[in-house]
């Protein structure tokens, strides 16, 4: 089976997941993002790469940060950006996902940035476009269910490379709700593809998927054990609906075991960086002193996110 | 109508018959095998040289979608699919809309099916009213109306107290109970087997324990009530082991597997292929191997198609929103043959699992070619390949994970009660 995001020539035509993506393509995105990062510091923050192209932000699930950064990225590439916050209401109106897509294609969309609560929704759209012969329309996954959030994974990789230079001697720990996390899955695939020798996941058994070791990671349930000797600590967001119930008894107990504190971080390497995809729950997964501390690269992640998304949009569009 | 079927390989698993001979049909029944009865003059002769002549297939799970879901399929389309697949008897689960919980509905279904004059339909009654799991249905009335067993289809029966009562009541009158082993809570909201694939794809998971926990409850209640239970669509290796042990203990249980599960596993979901959204979910390769071995050694009594016509609207959506199910009536034979061929199972043994064995579970006198038995007959070409394409299927449900697959075994003629109800058009001359 051909990787559905590559065309017959092996070019990236959709970005759906980092799984199975060749390392050269991942590195090309990261390399392309480097000059875009400096555009942000210029007075005129625009390049004409996507002039005349229409990028549709198709968000079936609420998002502020991801949608905004995609919008900024597309605008800095001089694309026309149309935001559609479809939420769940459109399905109750009876229009199917593919009907919505067909309608927007009829409005001459060039690219869809898709967020959907169902794992695999962007794959469905990409396969549909390919089947209909709309190979000039591209799909970028902005987060699907628990499956993938490839641009977040890429910006995490960009951040790690920025501070640590080389992936091939790193220990990276991902902490928290891995079970429901598309961020974790994408980062794991990216790190393993780029040759990171040790990726760890840390969390209670209720929040770690059954077969996670098949992704090439080590599982730790004790946070201090898991953080020992780490170069990079990635904290995951705990959704509020999961803070109490059958998965976890309380936020207090969660913070006690898996919240990142200065004291727990002390077992990591002295120059370890702390990352978080946002939005943060201070005092639940991370204490403020660490989130705002000198090891934290959480805000640079956001800035890099725009450059990485510019790189993705321009590469996928073949610009 | 008198028919003679000449020089075919006649296989009747129930009677251990397997030889090239001729078979004579008169007055809707098998009149003789070998030599024609004296004075027999056929109205129709069928040359079956190189073909297999066997009892019509019996499928213990085929959703006809009537009443209630006619937009997905109609009795007409699905009964045509049945006979095109060589299926002459089929049992349909009660999860129609409304569910088959009233004698009137059952009579109507039987009447509609009979008037089409194709396959025999055996309705399975609902075990509880509205499949709500609270009140028992009038099993006696339903049985009189034509229900051959009682089941809860895919609706969870959360209250084991009700399950116990239902089994006790059924046991009192000798009714059969068919159940799929699924825990109502574990795996709720799940869409794929809990394993590497669901982990990778981020799909909500259904652990194997959802089956084994329910199976343990059912087997414990069978032990205490003595009711005859048929377990539908086993899916896990652990479940097969439990069934094997239960049978060794002499419990009155039988079970089946869907043909999909003999050939596919969760890896086939690929990049979220909604065709592979099935209930129970496709499980791991180890489970598939155990199911195949279980069917071979008799732990699993029979294979069924689990025919569930789903329209394109139900499948052209993300995996987790896709309607579960696949069309199967026309694939029961080739997929059973494929299993047999791959695992070195003799043809009569394989055919037993879709003829005599399901007949025994149904308590029906169908599924064999004994003299005076109803002439329900399937004639197929065991060496003819065909490609599964939507246009090649009679069923209104064109969705199956096997689209594009080249399969072997093509039904040529289907006879029900001595009448030819289906014939494959002869291939155009080259």
**Higher-confidence position of A243 and B120:** B120
Chain A residues 160-199 with CB within 8 Å of chain B: 182, 185
Residues A276, A162 within the same domain:
yes
Residues A175, A294 within the same domain:
yes
Please give the model's pTM, rounded to 2 decimal places.
0.95
Residue A213 inside a domain? The answer is: yes
Residue A118 inside a domain? The answer is: yes
Domain count, chain A: 2
Residue A30 inside a domain? The answer is: yes
Residue A12 inside a domain? The answer is: no
Q: State whether B203 and A124 contact (CB < 8 Å).
A: no
Q: Kindly report the CATH number assigned to the domain that includes residue A168.
A: 3.40.50.1370
Q: State whether B316 and A98 contact (CB < 8 Å).
A: yes
Residues A284, A206 within the same domain:
yes
Provide the annotated active-site residues of B.
306
Whether the CA torsion A128, A131, A132, A136 is positive or negative: it is positive
Residue A14 inside a domain? The answer is: no
Residues A89, A175 within the same domain:
no
Note the pLDDT tens digit of each residue in A22-43.
999 999 999 999 999 988 788 8
Q: How far apart are CA A104 and CA A58, in angstroms?
A: 10
| Closest by CA position to B253, among listed B220, B278, B286, B281 | B220
Interface confidence, given as ipTM, is: 0.93
Preferred mutation among B200, B210, B323 to probe A, highest tally of A CBs within 10 A = B200
| DSSP-based three-state secondary structure for B342 | helix
Set of chain B residues whose Cβ sits within 8 Å of the Cβ of A182: 202
Residues A165, A292 within the same domain:
yes
Residues A291, A196 within the same domain:
yes
Residues A129, A167 within the same domain:
no
Distance of residue B319 Cα from the nearest chain A Cα, in angstroms? 7
Q: Tell me the CA distances in angstroms from A50 to A57, A152, A228, B373, one per residue in order.
A: 15, 21, 45, 75
Residues A156, A279 within the same domain:
yes
Residue A255 inside a domain? The answer is: yes
Note the pLDDT tens digit of each residue in A263-299.
999 999 999 999 999 999 999 999 999 999 999 999 9
Judged by a CB distance cut-off of 8 A, whether residue B173 touches chain A is: no
Judged by a CB distance cut-off of 8 A, whether residue A115 touches chain B is: no
Query: Are the C-beta atoms of A202 and A218 separated by less than 8 Å?
Result: no
Domain housing A164: 150-298
Q: State whether B199 and A212 contact (CB < 8 Å).
A: yes
Distance of residue A120 Cα from the nearest chain B Cα, in angstroms? 6
| Closest by CA position to B307, among listed B325, B281, B322 | B325
- Per-state percent for chain A, helix, strand, coil, to nearest 5: 40, 15, 40
Query: Are the C-beta atoms of B1 and B41 separated by less than 8 Å?
Result: no
Residue A6 inside a domain? The answer is: no
Note the pLDDT tens digit of each residue in B173-192.
999 999 999 999 998 999 99
Residues A102, A154 within the same domain:
no
Q: State whether B320 and A146 contact (CB < 8 Å).
A: no
Looking at residue A242, its pLDDT comes to 81
Q: Look at A79-88, A123-132, B416-425 and tell me which has the smallest mean pLDDT.
A: A79-88
Set of chain B residues whose Cβ sits within 8 Å of the Cβ of A214: 196, 199-200
Q: How far apart are CA B28 and CA B211, in angstroms?
A: 43
Residue B232 backbone dihedrals phi, psi, to 5 degrees = -95, 140
Name the average pLDDT for chain A: 94
Q: State whether B196 and A211 contact (CB < 8 Å).
A: yes
Residue A206 inside a domain? The answer is: yes
Please name the member of B195, B199, B318 whose beta carbon is closest to the beta carbon of A116: B318
Residues A285, A309 within the same domain:
no
Q: Tell me the CA distances in angstroms from B335 to B54, B204, B332, B339, B354, one per residue in order.
A: 16, 29, 5, 6, 11
Residues A247, A145 within the same domain:
no
Which domains, from first to last, does chain B contain? 56-362 (3.20.20.140)
């Amino acid at each position: 089976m051909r990787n559905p995001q590559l065309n017959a020539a092996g070019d990236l035509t959709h970005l759906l997941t980092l799984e199975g993506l060749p390392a050269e393509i991942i590195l090309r995105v990261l390399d392309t993002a480097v000059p875009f990062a400096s555009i942000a510091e210029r007075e005129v923050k625009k390049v004409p790469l996507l002039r005349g192209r229409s990028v549709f932000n198709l968000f079936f699930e609420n998002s502020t940060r991801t949608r905004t950064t995609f919008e900024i990225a597309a605008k800095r590439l001089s694309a026309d950006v149309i935001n559609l916050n479809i939420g769940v209401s459109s399905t109750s109106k009876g229009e199917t996902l593919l009907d919505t897509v067909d309608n927007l294609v009829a409005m001459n969309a060039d690219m869809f940035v898709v967020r959907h609560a169902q794992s695999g929704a962007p794959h469905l759209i990409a396969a549909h476009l390919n089947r209909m012969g709309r190979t000039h329309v591209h799909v970028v996954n902005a987060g699907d269910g628990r499956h993938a959030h490839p641009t977040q994974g890429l910006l995490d990789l960009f951040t790690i490379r920025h501070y640590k230079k080389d992936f091939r001697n790193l220990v990276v720990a991902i902490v928290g709700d891995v079970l429901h996390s598309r961020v974790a899955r994408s980062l794991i695939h990216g790190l393993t593809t780029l040759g990171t020798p040790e990726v760890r996941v840390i969390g209670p058994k209720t929040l770690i998927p059954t077969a996670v070791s098949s992704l090439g990671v080590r599982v730790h349930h004790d946070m201090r054990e898991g953080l020992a000797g780490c170069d990079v600590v990635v904290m995951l967001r705990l959704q509020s609906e999961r803070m109490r119930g059958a998965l976890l008894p309380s936020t207090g107990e969660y913070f006690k075991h898996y919240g990142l504190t200065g004291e727990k971080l002390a077992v990591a390497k002295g120059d370890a960086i702390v990352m978080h995809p946002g939005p943060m729950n201070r005092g639940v997964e991370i204490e403020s002193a660490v989130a705002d501390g000198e090891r934290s690269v959480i805000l640079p992640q956001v800035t890099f996110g725009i450059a990485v998304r510019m790189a993705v949009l321009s590469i996928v569009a073949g610009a | 109508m008198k028919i003679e079927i000449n020089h075919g390989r006649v296989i009747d698993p129930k009677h251990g018959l397997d030889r090239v001979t001729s078979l004579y049909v008169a007055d809707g029944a098998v009149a003789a095998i070998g030599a024609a009865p004296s004075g027999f003059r056929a109205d129709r002769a069928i040359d079956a040289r190189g073909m297999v002549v066997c009892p019509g297939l019996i499928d213990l799970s085929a959703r006809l979608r009537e009443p209630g879901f006619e937009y997905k399929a109609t009795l007409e389309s699905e009964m045509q699919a049945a006979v095109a697949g060589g299926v002459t008897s089929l049992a349909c689960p009660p999860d129609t809309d409304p569910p088959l919980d009233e004698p009137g509905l059952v009579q109507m279904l039987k009447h509609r099916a009979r008037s089409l004059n194709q396959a025999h339909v055996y309705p399975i009654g609902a075990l509880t009213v509205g499949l709500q799991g609270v009140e028992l249905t009038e099993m006696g009335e339903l049985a009189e109306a034509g229900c051959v067993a009682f089941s809860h289809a895919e609706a969870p029966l959360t209250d084991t107290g009700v399950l116990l009562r239902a089994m006790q009541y059924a046991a009192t009158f000798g009714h059969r109970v068919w159940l799929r082993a699924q825990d109502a809570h574990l795996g709720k909201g799940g869409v794929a087997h809990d394993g590497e694939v669901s982990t990778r794809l981020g799909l909500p998971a259904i652990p194997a324990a959802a089956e084994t926990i329910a199976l343990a409850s059912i087997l414990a209640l069978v032990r205490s009530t003595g009711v005859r239970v048929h377990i539908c669509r086993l899916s896990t290796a652990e479940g097969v082991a439990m069934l094997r042990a239960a049978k060794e203990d002499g419990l009155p249980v039988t079970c089946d597997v869907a043909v999909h599960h003999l050939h596919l596993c969760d890896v086939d979901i690929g990049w979220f292929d909604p065709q592979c959204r099935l209930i129970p979910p496709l499980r791991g390769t180890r489970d598939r191997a155990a199911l195949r071995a279980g069917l071979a050694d008799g732990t699993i009594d029979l294979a069924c198609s689990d025919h569930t016509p789903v329209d394109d609207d139900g499948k052209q959506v993300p995996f987790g929103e896709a309607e579960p199910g696949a069309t199967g009536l026309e694939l029961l034979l080739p997929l059973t043959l494929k299993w047999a061929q791959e695992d070195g199972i003799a043809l009569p043994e394989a055919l037993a699992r879709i003829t005599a064995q399901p007949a025994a579970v149904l308590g029906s006198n169908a599924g064999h070619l004994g003299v005076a038995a109803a002439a329900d007959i399937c004639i197929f070409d065991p060496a003819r390949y065909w490609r599964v394409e939507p246009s090649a299927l009679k069923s209104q449900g064109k969705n199956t994970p096997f689209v594009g697959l080249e399969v072997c075994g093509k039904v040529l003629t289907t006879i029900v009660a001595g009448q030819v109800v289906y014939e494959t058009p002869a291939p155009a001359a080259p």
